[in-house]
Structure 1
Amino acid sequence: MTDLLAGLDDGQRGAVLAPSGPVCVLAGAGTGKTRTITHRIARLISTGAHPVSEVLAVTFTTRAAGEMRLRLRALGVPGVQARTFHSAALKQLRYFWPRSVGGSLWPVLENKMRLVAMASRRVGAGTDTATLRDLAGEIEWAKATLAAPDTYQQAVAATLRDTPVAVETAAKVFAVYESIKSESEQLDFDDLLLHACAILETDESVAREFRARYRCFVVDEYQDVTPLQQRMLDAWLGGRDQLTVVGDANQTIYSFAGASPKYLLGFDRKYPEATVVRLERDYRSTPQVVTLANRIIAGATGSAARLRLKLTAVLPDGPEATFNEFPDEPAEAAAVAGQIAARIDGGSPASSMAVLFRINAQSEAYEQALTAAKVPYVVRGGQRFFARAEVRQAMVTLRGAAQQAGAANGQADDPDAAAVDPELVTTVRRLLAPIGLSDDPPPAGALRDRWDSLLGVVSIAEELADAEATAGLPQLVGELEQRAEAQHAPSIDGVTLASLHAAKGLEWDSVFLVGLTDGTLPIQHADTPEQVEEERRLFYVGVTRARTRLAMSWALSRTEGGRRSRRRSRFLTGLAPDLPVGSRTRAAGRCRICGGPLATPAAIKIGRCENCPSTADPELVEALRDWRRQRSSDDSVPAYVVFSDATLFAIAERRPTDADALLAIPGIGRSKLDHYGTDVLELVTRTR
């Protein structure tokens, strides 16, 4: 037991030592909740309160369940069942179904889309991929909230849910889907919980056997349970109270999928004798990040405020968070890519950084900017922009239209010579309208995701039209194909691009929170106070992903040169300094030649606009290249690992005379200064 308590703080120790009855652990971000609950489980087993076979721990992802099993094994209790809700229900159904229902367990659908499409056709609804995804999502939400086909519409009205498809249509499709599934004797993912609940609730012998086996339950991320999952938990417990729940109401971000914090918030009312422990010592982030997170969540309202946690940082001080405003999204993306490239050149691993955004469609600008900066990246929780079905379809549509235009002009074999389209952007919008680009955005859902992606294609057309007034469809198709090819380069160890939802449960040394404008965060369709508060919690989750460095930014226009009509997120009020409209970031800086803003990674690194005259000494550039070639050979590393070309040019232009001046050049950190600083400064001195 001494070993199980070693290294725990007072809150963690209190949770581990609490009796085996009802326990609620309110665990803030970075407070060591997984360590706490695994040590609690191990302690309950080691003291004889429960044998290994009686404990069932459930969480929400297979990754989290796997991590829990690994930690329990390291603590000497490898036999504990740690599963997701659905995995646990499936195991129970396989065992009890033949006895309670009869015959073999019905097969579980790997993908419900085929049956949703059949149901949609029968009621005359749409069968395009986006509509089917939205219909499937509505069915999943209905089941998660315990709504049946005949009560779905009332449930939508009661929750003020903004449905992506017509409520009447979704209800009809839901009813026919359930009928088809039942007739074919198949189960979907949500049926696992529904049927497991039904068996435990109606079959006394099964319930007795199950409850004799499992007597102690631990539930992680309890703020995100759905009514269906709570019903499953209640069926497992059967009125008993040997339950430990762990959660943080500040991190409830899945209400759109049916999750509700009310079970966490009401735990001490349901179990008046419960032990409630608060974990508020943050071991993940610096005081600067923690203070900012506390200020964000302090503005929250609603029922969650009663159990609000105030984090206390344990780590030493780090840099202050930065707040940066840009004239447009391309400039914002270029500046972020430039900062990332500089940090990589300074010795930071690409995998230690993440760019987080509200919606997946925002990733395209950062994929493009990072590619231009030759920075590897990985997209988490979504497809790369040019891999999305709607973007591929848009490219096929535009390619076909370009070929037809060329053929009509007798120039099919020479696309660059095809007739120029005087209104490229208007033409692109017209061509993409039949595949989902309406004038007004659809409600939230797959159709909105599709619309956002198609709007991204339009923005590329706008960029091309601004840069090349005579560009037509053939030139646009060529531009799209070049970008698609460049951004499909494989990358393994790279900067993470992820939505805020996909980033939950993860952490990085450096986090860039981008696109922080009203209408994006909070999202435009967040109409009610409850929905706005969930957006605030999503912002809080994003901030608390950062260990050391946090950069927040927003752009006043979507396209380069566009009207600057956006305003920064209301959540930044009182956090970010009041910046003059169109101001640039300190990190991006201004050109030392003309004083203008620096908008590309290369310009940021060399400290001047790319079209301003270079002040680099050709002799010094050549000397630096010779030195780099020799040093890379001596160290058996590629030349760019020593210094990139952009860093060499920056050295040659700025001609640093001491270590501080060398450190001020983006791409040179303390590690590179220690390795190469003496050589570089000697070269600069010799060529004066």
Structure 2
Amino acid sequence: MHTEFYASTPHGAGSKKIPLAPLAATTTSQALVPDGQPDAFYFRALEEQGIFLNKAQIEAVRHGDGPLLTLAGAGSGKTSVLVCRTGYLIAVRGISPRSILLVTFSSKAAAEMKQRIAGLPGMTPRMAGDVQARTYHSFFLLLLRRQGYDQDILSETRYQHIIVKRMLREMGLQDEYQPETLLAELSHYKMNLIDIDDVPEKTADERNIKSIFRQYEQWKKTHHKMDFDDVLLYAHQLLLRSPHLLQSLQERFVYVMNDEFQDTNRLQYELVQMIAAPQHNFMVVGDDDQTIYSFNGASHEYILDFHKLYPTARTVTLDINYRSTSSIVGLGNEVIRRNKKRKPKQLQATRSSDTMPRYYRPGDSNEEAQAVIARITEDVAQRQRSYSDFAILYRSASDSRALLEQLVLREVPFVHYGGGDVFYEQWMVKPVIDYLRLSLHRRNFEAMEGILPTLYINRDKGMEFIRQQEAVQRKKGPLAYLLFFPELKDFQKDKLRDRLAQIKTFAQMKPVDAIRDMRRTFYDAFLETSDSRKLTPHKEVLKETLDELESAAKPFASTAEFVEHVELMIRKHKEMELLRQDAEADRVTVMTIHKSKGLEFPVVFVIGVSDGMLPHSSALEQPNVRGEKAAASSAEEKAAALEEERRLAYVAITRAREELILSSPAYFRGKKAEVSQFILAPFRQASPQGTSSSAHGGRLTGSSGGSRPKDLTRGAAVPKPPVRTVSETVYAWVCTAGSCNAWSRISTPQETKVKDKACPLCHAPMRRGSKTVAVRQG
């Protein structure tokens, strides 16, 4: 990514400049807590350890009894506040360490808090050990163990998948459902306190799902197991039926603190509320602007409505960002303030910088990936950065395909926290690849097994029949044995003959044409009718994934070359997985925005910042939870979906400490894509009526034609608004001859791939660069 391709504003931006976040006052506890105050000794001790709290942090630390909502903006030092308040309660107010409960979500966060509490002034190891700083699951599992619950914990997700796969096979449904989606659905019901008996069963699909849920629960009971969801559910049931046990917890834990409150789901919230009652010395710390896990049951409504449940609650806002430069914080402020359902706050910064966020408009995802990796390798080669300084964030799994391939091809060390299979091994992609594999090697039994569900043939029974026939006589194309499979009807055999003939043609076709042929003739229809789709969060995700597969195949001239490339990618990804085990390895971090929350990096690339990617197409179209497009979806639901996507953009922006690069491909899987409305909106002037352009989804809108509107009170035509001219940066070929001013716009992804071009006027070489042009608006 050469400097000439950077822009200081996104493509298509207006003339408005993003304000820098105001620099916060440097006043700390040294001046805010004079020596004469009773608790000054505690703050002096903190200062000796290098902990200097600001005014809002001091207010939260000093809070005594009663509920407290602490709005902790990104990078605002919330962990310091939780730790220091714990020490304050013990050292200043004389509270027993055994009376303090601090719950959080990750083991890493809990371990950090324990370590920092142990290092507080005046804290002995025993006192630190008496403070219960734990994850939800750790705390409530300890409670269950002490009450005699001795079930083994199903701690490995992979093992859970194996169990569910076995059940699906026994029910003959192994080709219909994905274990991960079933378990996610079951978790959703449990976290929302919906009993399995109350799960709907109106359709055959719903009855199957309910039956699988019941079998899974019965298997756990028979084998004396429980999973992580059960830990919280059993604890809730135990406390409801054991009022004396609940009372003992309430009497012991007089002060309860809840970290990352915006990620809390209903079951977690009810559990912690039960313990915090009746004293209500309940401190919650979170940021409604970073609620991005609604699919897991988290709701920013718990923060927004906290005062409804606790009318006497105080609110303290931690609004000083200690992580990012003022330019990055300023952009984050401008993006998130357009959300309507939020607690108003504007973050201040502590560091100024000459480096502003930069914007890039590549032709497509492939060019984007090449440019990102080029920038990283250039900085590392020049010893300006190490690989570990860089993080690359993306919205959805399929958005990372081109990037990951470039990392592998350029042999850049990386660790990928994608939370799923390699792109080519995803359940909706692998059958297509298996068809291509089979076209090249007709005796590839693994590929044969992979395509059987698309023929509506049970995987186990079909392969058993093929192997039985193979034992009698070997065949060049063993799949043809299925023509004699006794369970097939005549019309199915006719379909199979067509498919066998079609497979033979794939080897001679360009891979992208073979994939399109599959989709057109049978594969899209297969996915459309497959019951497993009903548990896919968004149907659009399936289409996007297959569109991305087409994009991946397009550069290859033959099916053999593409399949060889796929095998290389799968193998290299497995090799790179080993880097994940070495925390000290110098490697680029690649992850979804969801995975990045709570982390920070010196340099952050956010790729795919275009409408359809971020915000995701599912939010723009707003399907419901079952994946159906919601024709009757309310305006409120659509607004809520878009606001969560905007929170995702905000989280991505605020991960960067020093440099932020936002990349918005002009073409997304062959279709034109606009720069994300989230990034454009801050650069757009407010409309004449005084409303932000975000009222129209962040886009400038105008009349679509027809007669001019009338002023109904006067009967006269409303005059047209004056024409405005704004500057816009476009990418272009620029003549290198000093005496020639010729240039031409780069407007298609094909043009971005051209390496050399001669000036049409003077025939001198042209270089890729940018030009600022005037654009008429109004």
Q: TM-score, normalised by structure 1?
A: 0.74
Q: 1:237 to 1:292 in 2, by over 3 A?
A: same
Aligned to 2:555: 463
Q: 1:514 to 1:61 in 2, by over 3 A?
A: same
Q: Which secondary structure does the structure 1 equivalent of 2:667 belong to?
A: coil
Aligned to 1:480: 566
State the distance in 1 between where 2:346 and 2:372 align: 30
State the distance in 2 between where 1:449 and 1:533 align: 19
> Which of 653, 664, 674 in structure 2 is aligned with 1:554?
664
Aligned to 1:626: none
State the distance in 2 between where 1:84 and 1:299 align: 33
Aligned to 2:66: 21
C-alpha deviations, 1:25-73, integer Å up to 9, x for none? 1100010101111111111111244222221211111111111112112
> Which of 644, 647, 650 in structure 2 is aligned with 1:540?
650
Aligned residues of 2:436 and 2:506 also touching (Cα < 8 A): no
CA displacement at 1:404 relative to structure 2: 2.9
C-alpha deviations, 1:406-452, integer Å up to 9, x for none? 9989xxxxxxxx99623532323556866998479957549877775
State the distance in 1 between where 2:268 and 2:389 align: 34
Q: Which secondary structure does the structure 2 equivalent of 1:285 belong to?
A: strand
> Which of 105, 120, 129 in structure 2 is aligned with 1:60?
105
> Which of 371, 376, 396 in structure 2 is aligned with 1:359?
396
1:321 lines up with 2:357 in the alignment: yes
Instruction: Give the letter for the 2:186 counterpart.
Output: I
State the distance in 2 between where 1:51 and 1:64 align: 23
Aligned to 2:468: none
State the distance in 1 between where 2:336 and 2:272 align: 29
> Which of 215, 239, 244 in structure 1 is aligned with 2:278?
239
Q: 1:204 to 1:88 in 2, by over 3 A?
A: same
Aligned to 2:185: 138
C-alpha deviations, 1:357-380, integer Å up to 9, x for none? 101222221112233444322112
State the distance in 1 between where 2:152 and 2:300 align: 32
Aligned residues of 1:323 and 1:576 also touching (Cα < 8 A): no
Aligned residues of 1:55 and 1:216 also touching (Cα < 8 A): yes
Q: Which secondary structure does the structure 2 equivalent of 1:573 belong to?
A: helix
Aligned to 1:648: none
Instruction: Give the letter for the 1:568 counterpart.
Output: V
CA displacement at 1:487 relative to structure 2: 4.9
Matches within 5 A, 1:146-295: 146-153=193-200, 169-295=208-334
Aligned to 2:603: 510
Aligned residues of 1:368 and 1:487 also touching (Cα < 8 A): no
Unaligned residue ranges in structure 1 (runs of 5+): 99-103, 158-162, 410-417, 614-652, 654-688
CA displacement at 1:114 relative to structure 2: 4.5
Question: RMSD of aligned C-alpha atoms?
Answer: 3.9
Matches within 5 A, 1:345-356: 345-346=381-382, 347-356=384-393
Matches within 5 A, 1:488-507: 488-490=574-576, 491=579, 492-507=585-600
- State the structure with bigger RCO (CA 8 A, min sep 6), 1 or 2: 2
State the distance in 2 between where 1:402 and 1:447 align: 31
CA displacement at 1:566 relative to structure 2: 2.1
Instruction: Give the letter for the 1:319 counterpart.
Output: T
Aligned to 2:80: 35
State the distance in 1 between where 2:414 and 2:398 align: 16
Instruction: Give the letter for the 2:438 counterpart.
Output: G
State the distance in 2 between where 1:499 and 1:275 align: 35
> Which of 111, 130, 138 in structure 2 is aligned with 1:87?
138
Aligned to 2:116: 71
C-alpha deviations, 1:552-582, integer Å up to 9, x for none? 11223235xx3x4222222123346899999
State the distance in 2 between where 1:183 and 1:144 align: 23
Instruction: Give the letter for the 2:678 counterpart.
Output: F
Aligned residues of 1:437 and 1:451 also touching (Cα < 8 A): no
CA displacement at 1:474 relative to structure 2: 1.9
Q: Which secondary structure does the structure 2 equivalent of 1:64 belong to?
A: helix
State the distance in 2 between where 1:152 and 1:17 align: 46
Aligned residues of 1:598 and 1:609 also touching (Cα < 8 A): no
CA displacement at 1:538 relative to structure 2: 0.8
Aligned to 1:12: 57
CA displacement at 1:240 relative to structure 2: 2.5
CA displacement at 1:145 relative to structure 2: 1.1
Aligned residues of 2:262 and 2:288 also touching (Cα < 8 A): yes
Q: Which secondary structure does the structure 2 equivalent of 1:404 belong to?
A: coil
C-alpha deviations, 1:235-268, integer Å up to 9, x for none? 3224231221100110111111111122222222
Aligned to 1:650: none
Q: Which secondary structure does the structure 2 equivalent of 1:283 belong to?
A: strand
State the distance in 2 between where 1:211 and 1:314 align: 40
State the distance in 1 between where 2:517 and 2:111 align: 49
State the distance in 2 between where 1:437 and 1:369 align: 32
Q: 1:384 to 1:42 in 2, by over 3 A?
A: same
Q: TM-score, normalised by structure 2?
A: 0.66
Using the TM superposition, name which of 350-359 and 238-247 deviates more: 238-247
C-alpha deviations, 1:8-31, integer Å up to 9, x for none? 000111111111432211100010
Aligned residues of 1:395 and 1:477 also touching (Cα < 8 A): yes
Aligned residues of 1:354 and 1:510 also touching (Cα < 8 A): yes
State the distance in 1 between where 2:138 and 2:176 align: 28
Q: 1:454 to 1:545 in 2, by over 3 A?
A: same
C-alpha deviations, 1:115-159, integer Å up to 9, x for none? 5446656776x42496221111111011111112243449xx9xx
C-alpha deviations, 1:180-212, integer Å up to 9, x for none? 444554322111111112222221332233333
C-alpha deviations, 1:640-672, integer Å up to 9, x for none? xxxxxxxxxxxxx9xxxxxxxxxxxxxxxxxxx
1:571 lines up with 2:664 in the alignment: no
CA displacement at 1:522 relative to structure 2: 1.8
Q: Which secondary structure does the structure 1 equivalent of 2:415 belong to?
A: strand
Instruction: Give the letter for the 1:508 counterpart.
Output: F
State the distance in 1 between where 2:277 and 2:413 align: 51
Number of aligned residue pairs: give it. 572
CA displacement at 1:285 relative to structure 2: 0.7
C-alpha deviations, 1:582-605, integer Å up to 9, x for none? 9449xxx97969979999xxxx9x
Q: 1:493 to 1:449 in 2, by over 3 A?
A: farther
CA displacement at 1:224 relative to structure 2: 1.4
Aligned to 1:333: 369
Aligned residues of 1:30 and 1:283 also touching (Cα < 8 A): yes
Instruction: Give the letter for the 2:300 counterpart.
Output: P
Aligned residues of 1:131 and 1:446 also touching (Cα < 8 A): no
Q: 1:215 to 1:576 in 2, by over 3 A?
A: same
Aligned residues of 1:4 and 1:43 also touching (Cα < 8 A): no
State the distance in 2 between where 1:481 and 1:176 align: 37
Aligned to 1:669: none
